[in-house]
Amino acid sequence: MNVRRTTTWLALAGCVVLSGCQFKGAAAIPLPGGAGGGAGAYKVTIEFPDVLDLVPQSAVKVNDVAVGSVTSIEVGPTGYTARVRVRVRRDVVLPANAHASLRQTSLLGEKFVSLDPPTTEPATGRLRDGATIGLDRTTRNADIEEVLAALSLVLNGGSLEQLQTINRELVLALKGRESKVRDLLVQLNTFVGGLDKQKADIVRALDGLDSLTARLAAQRETLAVGLRDIPAGIAVLADQRAQITQVLTGLNRLGTVAVRVIKASQQNTTADLRALEPILTQLNRAGKDLPDSLELLTTYPFPKTVDEGIKGDYANLFATADINLLGAGTNTGIIPGPVASAIPTLPPLPVPIPSLVPKLPVPAPGRSLLPSVPGLGGLAGGMSPGLLSLLLGGLS
């Protein structure tokens, strides 16, 4: 009996010596048959900002079905986060961007880690052994202790006891003003409804204001130069105020005279236009005959093909022009003597074009066809009869 007790104590002492300081209590002893065990299970590291009272051997669930367990919990490298290492059965397929959350089975139940596919983005890849789920993909629910602590703060150290005072003062402030407050609420409802209907216009105006602000910011240097130079320009305009006023006054008088001249010469202008109407009509009717006749005039008395009848570099042509401006008598010809008999007879000129302009009556001496323009000294007597006759004779 003593030998058995001695052996038992030796075995226990050996286990203690072999384990040394690495023994972490009963939680460090793996339990048989736990979820996530067996060959092929893969391990995943999950980072949480706070794990509350989560302990090793807690369950790891997918859709509230246990598929693994927590193997260890450590402090993160920054000292403000927790690293939870879990193992998951090999037959559980999760995307590489899966999310992890810390939940509990009931209001006062135990904590567990829930693995879920992403809900705000498409699932990609597959979660494999050694993967890490970072802080951006982990969440935790509010703990019942936190809810009760916040509620106790409101009930004890908050403003709950002041609700009666607030209610009493509100009743006193609104007493006798119910109709005005009701009308205010109706108007406020109408105003908010109008703003809601003009939401698109308001957004468009804000976008336009944003574009305008951006353009002004891009042209800041140009605006600065303009603001710097505008005072100098205004000073120059102020110095020349008298000249500018004089110019504007003269322009006003010129406009008044121009209006009076236009009104006074309205009949004359109408008569001139009506007189020009038959001239322009006949010119339009002449068509191509007028330029053709002018072209023929430049080639008389030799046609355009005269060079084809002359062989050599020059032609033996002698011409004598007898111009007697002061003497009397009849001119017998331009080329006298035997030279004239040697020159062949030229063809006659083409039939002259009939008068394109109808005969206009010549005004009597001292009178004009155009009515006088009152108020104009230079045109008071109308057009000179001799000048009008010369012009009409040249057009007839």
pLDDT digit string, tens, across residues 342-372: 444 545 544 444 444 444 444 455 454 444 4
Please say whether the beta carbons of 98 and 113 come within 8 A. no
94 falls in which pLDDT band (50, 70, 90)?
Answer: very high
Give the number of C-alpha atoms closer than 13 A to the C-alpha of residue 75, restricted to the C-beta side: 4
70 falls in which pLDDT band (50, 70, 90)?
Answer: very high
Q: Give, in order, the Cα–Cα distances in Å from 276 to each of 158, 266, 270, 280.
A: 103, 15, 10, 6
Spell out where the chain has E strands: 42-48, 59-62, 65-75, 82-88, 99-104, 111-116, 131-133, 138-140
Predicted pLDDT at 109: 81
Contacts of 68 (CB under 8 A, 6+ apart): 35, 36, 41, 59, 60, 86, 87, 88, 89, 92
Per-residue pLDDT of 37-61, as tens digits, reads 677 889 999 999 888 888 898 899 9
Distance (Å, whole) CA 34 – CA 262 = 114
**CA–centroid distance for 99 within its chain:** 43
DSSP state of 22: G
Token digits of residue 295: 């072209």
Q: What's the rounded mean pLDDT across residues 76-105?
A: 90
Per-residue pLDDT of 131-165, as tens digits, reads 999 999 999 887 777 788 777 777 776 666 677 78
Predicted pLDDT at 343: 46
13 falls in which pLDDT band (50, 70, 90)?
Answer: low
Whether the pTM exceeds 0.85: the reply is no
Would you kindly state where each structural domain of the chain is located, as residue ranges? 26-144, 221-264, 267-395
Closest CA to 51 of 79, 87, 88, 83: 83
Which strand (E) or helix (H) includes residue 281? helix 266-286
Distance (Å, whole) CA 116 – CA 119 = 9
Residue with tokens 């609104």: 174
Contacts of 257 (CB under 8 A, 6+ apart): none
For residue 301, cis peptide bond before it (omega within 30 degrees of 0) = yes
